[in-house]
Chain A
Amino acid sequence: MTVAARRTERLLNLVICLLSTRRYLTKEEIRRSVEGYSEGQEAFERAFERDKEELRELGIPLEIGSNDPLFDDEAGYRIRRDAYELPPISLAPDEMAVVGLAARFWQQASLAEASSRALLKLKAQHPGEAAAEDLLGIEPRLVRDEPGFEDLWKAVQDRRAVEFDYRTRSGTQSRRHLEPWGMVAWHGRWYTIGHDRDRDDVRVFRVGRITSEIDAIGPSGAVAVPPDVDLRAIVHSFEDGAPVGTAQVRVAAGTGGGLRRQAVGEPAADPIHDGWVVLEVPFRDVGALVDDVVGYGPNAVVVGPPEARQAARDRLVGAIGDGEASA
């Protein structure tokens, strides 16, 4: 048996021993009961400290206490069964099936592993097989794996501030210091939301635009998340907006399919151009409207409002260009 296997054996015996006792066991009692600890006092102490740490890392609730609170006797250890065990959950086959689908949800390694571990714990309680046929062929890939996600996910859980280099949409780069409150995936991309120490205000950062390593700063538990904060609403307020207006866009017969799908109401026949129709297209900013229209080339023309019409012309003039790209 390998050294690692012998250690596993000792750790498992320690868990079983501490789970099976009602009273706190002193270090000496543990040393006598659990196979595999060294004879030498110092080596034992070192090994026992390390074992305790590893059990705690796995989330095993190791309790320290004294059997007789009136006497200042030596502290002992135990694991309370009700704190250790997964409470009984009875999942119906269809519930188990959707939990199985949820466990396939993550591409991020740490979350994929965490959800598989959770699924195995649940399966351990449910000997039947899930009714999964109905969910066959469904591949949930709602979020993409982005570098930086794992560090932020850890910082959010540890409630720890972070710093990183960030490039805005326009390309400006700067060092930012953030107290992260949480993360939202939106349109398949990750955003982190929190208190920006440099701006002293709430800010939203797109994780994909972080250009450096993410360094944790300050102690864990230092980030205070405001109660009732609505992360999704914050992302929306920064990244999206309600339509600000409606444009009239003229499209040729049988073309402009995307614009026709965005339009509200029935298309009106164009009074001047035979076969063309005029669409009422809601837009949230002129730039986004022009994005949608100019791709149709001569088959779509912004009729109004005038500033949108001008912006579309300018964009087309820009596309002809003078032989050199300019901002």
Chain B
Amino acid sequence: MTGGARGVGGAQAQLQRLLSLVPYVLSRPGVAVDQVAEEFGVSAAQVLRDLNVLWFCGLPGLLPGDLIEVDMDAAQGGRVHVTNAEAIARPLRLQVDEALALLVALRALAEVPGLEDRDALGRAIAKLERAAGDAATGGLPVAVEVPPRAQAGTTAAVRKALATGCRLHIAYYVPHRDETTERDVDPMRLLLDGQGGYLEGWCRRAEGVRLFRLDRITSIEVLDIAADVPAEARSRDMADELFTPSPDDMLVTLELAASARWVTETYPLETVEELPDGRLLVRLRTADSRWLVRLALRLGAEARVLDPLEVAQQVEITARAALAAYDLADSPVAG
């Protein structure tokens, strides 16, 4: 069973909204039309249309005393006053899909290391489970697993900096350069994702918005300096992939064996072309050829860099140098 209404904007959707909107405005006499519109995700004009429908509703008989009273003059002036609506003063109970959506999310959040609202999360979960009744008994059929990779201390420090508006000093490890650098970052957001999460912030070393994987922050300190995020700093649009390659980045063409198809699931690609025997021709963009060399070494015989030629040569040179290191001398530990 799902609680969603058919046909957005239709009568059923409007009824569903009104059954929550009436209790919402009854508990907030004089609430602004704009606030109601924002909360319910509709336009202010739609709120007025909703109120207009309400005005003609009430107990059977529809005598003046039985009707819901809506102050339409106040509503035109931007304020909502509804009275005489006791019959629907309380919201409809939570549906199975509604309770599930919130409970699965709350349980996942309760596992995030460093979210120190664990106590509030636990209490909210218990109360919602009680309210949801049958909808939430037994094990939930859906679970979101939170990877333990990010250090709780790192997450907690980022949260503290966000809450207090302070600058962070971090040491950050970059795998494809195999180096750790120190920098000051003015935090903008904490992005929790399935891989452990990111700090988004204004990097004072790069003078730009950067994402830092929490599990690659090797040390972190909240400074006693106010964060100063420039007005031009823009957050990434979270509807997109976390990493949107820039059109200025180098375009690389790779031929992949069928067994390397996971690459298409892992990195944003410009184009994918199916070749015979399940092989693939893919094009992707990268800002740093070292990242690509690393990927090509990892793929071994499963991939071939076709273009640019310099990158293909770089892969070969690095692989030959690595093999030479194997030929050099065997350490006694090898037995």
Contacts and interface: CB of A to CB of B under 8 A. Distances in A.
A145 to B, nearest CB: 9
Interface in A18-35: 19-20, 33-35
A11 B98 contact: no
B189 A86 contact: no
Contact of B102 (A115, A144, A312, A313): A115
Q: Which of the four size classes fits the interface of chain A?
A: 35 or more
Contacts of B335: 304, 306
Contacts, number: 411
Interface string B10-30: 111011101110011001100
B194 A187 contact: yes
B193 interface: yes
A314 B240 CA distance: 38
Nearest to A296: B178
Contacts of B106: 98-99, 102
Interface in B44-67: 49, 52-54, 56-62
B130 A89 contact: yes
Interface residues of B, number: 137
Interface centre among A9, A20, A256 (most CB of B within 10 A): A9
A217 interface: no
A228 B297 CA distance: 44
Interface string B108-150: 1100100101001101100110110100000111111111000
B302 A327 contact: yes
A26 to B, nearest CB: 13
Interface string A49-64: 0000010011110000
B175 A295 contact: yes
A274 B332 CA distance: 14
A5 B14 contact: yes
B267 interface: no
Nearest to B176: A295
Contact of A120 (B39, B265, B316): B39
Interface string B58-86: 11111000000000000000000000000
A295 B91 CA distance: 57
Contacts of B49: 5
Nearest to A117: B98
Contacts of B147: 187
B318 A297 contact: yes
A105 interface: yes
Contacts of A183: 141-143
B322 A297 contact: yes
B51 to A, nearest CB: 11
Interface centre among A94, A116, A138, A324 (most CB of B within 10 A): A138
Interface stretch (A37-45, A65-73, A106-114): A106-114
A305 B302 CA distance: 24
Given A118-B98, A304-B334, A327-B258, A185 B143 contact: yes
A136 B162 contact: yes
B294 interface: yes
A140 B192 contact: yes
Contacts of B188: 137
Given A8-B11, A114-B3, A257-B173, A60 B189 contact: no
Contacts of B127: 89-91, 95
A133 interface: yes
Given A16-B87, A127-B27, A169 B145 contact: no
9 contacts: A4-B9, A8-B53, A60-B92, A94-B120, A98-B121, A121-B91, A140-B192, A157-B1, A169-B259
Interface of A: 1, 4-5, 7-9, 11-13, 15-17, 19-20, 33-35, 54, 57-60, 83-87, 89-92, 94-99, 101-103, 105-107, 110-121, 123-127, 133-144, 153-154, 156-157, 167, 169-171, 181-189, 208-209, 225, 228-229, 231-232, 235, 248, 250, 255-258, 261, 270-273, 278, 291, 294-299, 301, 303-304, 306, 309, 312-321, 323-327
Task: Give the top 3 A-B pairs by smallest Cβ distance, nearest first.
Answer: A188-B194, A318-B301, A318-B300
